Structure 1
Amino acid sequence: MGSVVAVRRYPVKSMLGEDVEAVPVGASGLAGDRAFALVDVASGRVASAKNPRLWRSLLGVDVATVGDGVRLTFADGRTLCSADPDADALLSDFVGRPVRLTATPPEAASLDRAVPDEVLTHGETADVPVEPTALPAGSFHDFAPVHLITTSTLDAIGAEAGDAVCAIRYRPNLIVRTPEAGYTENAWVGHDVSVGDAVLRIIAPTPRCAVPTLEQGMLPRFRDALRVPARDNLVEPRPGMGPHACAGVYATVTRPGHVSPGDTVTVL
Structure 2
Amino acid sequence: MIGTVERLRRYPVKSLLGEELGGSVEVTARGLAGDRGRALLDVATGRVASAKNPRRWAGLLDYTATATAGGGVAVTGPDGRPVDEAELSEALGRKVVLIADRPPGAAIERAVPEEVLARGVAAEVEVTVNELGRAAPEGTFFDFAPVHLITTATLAATGTGGEAERYRPNLVIRVEDEGYVENAWVGRELAIGPTLRLRVLVPTPRCAVPTLRHGPLPRRTAALRVPAEQNRLVPLEGMPALPCAGVYAQVLVPGRIGPGDAVGLVG
- Normalising by structure 2, what TM-score? 0.94
Separation in structure 1 between the aligned mates of residue 231 and residue 48 of structure 2, nearest angstrom: 29
1:167-216 per-residue CA deviation (whole Å, 9 max, x = no partner) reads 11100000000011121000000000011120000000000000000000
In structure 2, distance between residues paired with 1:97 and 1:62: 18
Q: Is 2:107 the partner of 1:104? A: no
Q: Tell me which residue corresponds to 1:181.
A: 178
- Matched residues, percent identical? 54
**SS of the residue 1:79 aligns to:** coil
Does the CA-based 8 Å contact 1:190-1:203 persist in structure 2?
Answer: yes
For the residue of structure 1 that corresponds to 2:202, the secondary structure is: strand
C-alpha distance in 2, partners of 1:2/1:226? 25
1:75 maps to 78
* Offset at residue 165 of structure 1 (A): 5.8
For residues 109 and 157 of structure 1, the distance between their equivalents in structure 2, rounded to whole angstroms, comes to 31
**AA of the residue aligned to 1:206:** T
CA-CA distance at 1:57 after TM superposition: 0.7
Q: Secondary structure at the match of 2:89?
A: helix
**2:246 equivalent to 1:232:** no
The CA distance in 1 between the partners of 2:88 and 2:64, in whole Å, is: 13
- Segments of 4+ moved more than 6 angstroms: none
Structure 1 vs Structure 2 CA RMSD: 1.2
SS of the residue corresponding to residue 258 of structure 1 reads strand
Structure 1 residue runs of 5 or longer lacking an equivalent are 81-86
State the shift of 1:96 in Å: 0.7
In the alignment, what sits opposite 2:257? 259
Measure, in 2, the Cα distance between the counterparts of 1:56 and 1:203.
Answer: 28
Decide which moves more: 138-147 or 57-66: 57-66
Is 1:115 aligned to 2:112, yes or no?
yes
Give the letter aligned to residue 16 of structure 2.
M
Q: How far does residue 139 in structure 1 lie from its aligned partner after superposition? A: 2.0
Please tell me the residue identity of whatever aligns with 1:72: V
Please give the secondary structure, in 1, of the residue aligned with 2:264: strand
CA-CA distance at 1:265 after TM superposition: 0.5
Give the whole-Å Cα distance in 2 for the aligned partners of 1:105 and 1:134. 11
Q: How many residues align?
A: 258
Alignment correspondent of 2:199: 201
Q: Distance in 2 between matches of 1:155 and 1:61?
A: 27
> Mean Cα displacement is larger for which, 244-253 or 26-35?
26-35
Task: Quote the Cα distance in structure 1 between the aligned partners of 2:128 and 2:65.
Answer: 27
Indicate whether 1:170 and 2:172 are aligned: no
SS in structure 1 opposite 2:184?
A: helix
- SS of the equivalent of 1:118 reads helix
Q: Does 1:56 align with 2:58?
A: yes
- Contact 2:201-2:248 within 8 A present in 1 as well: yes
Aligned mates of 2:128, 2:30 — CA distance in 1: 25
The superposition leaves residues 7-43 of structure 1 with CA deviations (integer Å, 9 ceiling, x where unpaired) of 1000111111111221111111111001111000011
Q: Which amino acid counterpart does residue 142 of structure 1 have in structure 2?
A: D
Q: Is the 8 A contact 1:237 1:243 kept in 2?
A: yes
TM-score, normalised to structure 1's length?
0.93
